[in-house]
């Protein structure tokens, strides 16, 4: 079975199990998603969603973020962790949006990557969810699950992204990545995946390797 054929089976399973999978960060516009995604680094989406309502009430637009002091921003986002760097990046990002992009979040990869605190994961999430463009978001779930399933042998997120772009239909990339997150939280957990409950064991490299090894060891006994 080719990787493209494998992806078709995976997508069909995901569609049946995670049809409503979507971005779990709460946002109203591209700028709010940009802020929420930066806050989500080393923090749960649930925690970010608890912080952002009061954050956006205090700083309601790009101009307000750009004019905030480091201390004000740190206090508002402190519970998300790594708040010194996050606050610095959020303020600098807003200032750059005003100076270079008319206060609007750009919709091109290279322009997004020029913003402080924005890497390919954040940029792809914005492209896919805020702007409806083809995008592949490689987070910890995508990295773990695509490796286990045998869709990639790479561990570098950018290389994984490029591998997936070759086999995942462009129009399905964003949904596919959200479904990977749901699958990673429900079954394909980092420690102790619930393989017995998963409908992908027949095409999963991790399952075949793990259980084939177990059977061989059992046979030797």
Tell me which H or E stretch contains 10. helix 3-17
Residue 1's Cβ-side half-sphere holds a number of Cα atoms within 13 Å equal to 15
Q: How many Cβ atoms from other residues are within 10 Å of residue 155's Cβ?
A: 10
Residue 122 in contact with residue 109, Cβ under 8 Å?
A: no
**Is residue 202 flagged as an active site residue?**
no
Q: Which of 185, 191, 188 is nearest to 207 (CA)?
A: 188
Residue 147's Cβ-side half-sphere holds a number of Cα atoms within 13 Å equal to 17
List the catalytic residue out of 121, 129, 163, 175. Answer: 121
Residue 37 in contact with residue 24, Cβ under 8 Å?
A: no
**Is residue 139 flagged as an active site residue?**
yes
CA–CA separation, 80 and 99 (whole Å): 27
Per-position DSSP letters for 139-196, written without gaps between them: -HHHHHHHHHHTS----SHHHHHHHHHHHS-GGGHHHHHHHHHHHHHHTS-SSS--GG
Q: Torsion angle, CA of 210/211/216/221, rounded to 10 degrees?
A: 110
List the catalytic residue out of 63, 78, 139, 205. Answer: 139
CA–CA separation, 199 and 68 (whole Å): 49
Catalytic residue numbers read 121, 139
């Amino acid at each position: 079975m080719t990787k493209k054929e494998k992806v078709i089976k995976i997508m069909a399973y995901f569609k049946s199990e995670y049809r409503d999978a979507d971005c779990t960060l709460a946002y109203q516009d591209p700028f709010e998603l940009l802020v929420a995604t930066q806050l989500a680094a080393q923090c749960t989406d649930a925690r970010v969603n608890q912080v952002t309502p009061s954050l956006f009430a205090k700083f309601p637009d790009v101009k307000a973020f750009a004019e905030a002091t480091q201390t004000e921003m740190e206090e508002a986002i402190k519970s998300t962790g790594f708040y010194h760097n996050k606050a610095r990046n959020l303020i600098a990002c807003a200032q750059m949006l005003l100076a270079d992009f008319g206060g609007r979040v750009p919709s091109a990869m290279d322009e997004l990557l020029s913003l402080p605190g924005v890497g390919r994961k954040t940029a792809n999430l914005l492209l896919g969810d805020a702007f409806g463009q083809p995008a592949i978001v490689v987070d910890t779930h995508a990295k773990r699950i695509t490796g286990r399933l045998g869709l990639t042998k790479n561990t570098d997120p950018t290389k994984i992204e490029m591998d997936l772009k070759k086999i995942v239909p462009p129009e399905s990339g964003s949904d596919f990545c959200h479904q990977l997150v749901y699958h990673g939280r429900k079954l394909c957990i980092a420690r102790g995946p619930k393989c017995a409950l998963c409908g992908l064991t027949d095409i999963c490299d991790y399952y075949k390797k793990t259980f084939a090894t177990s059977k061989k060891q059992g046979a030797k006994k």
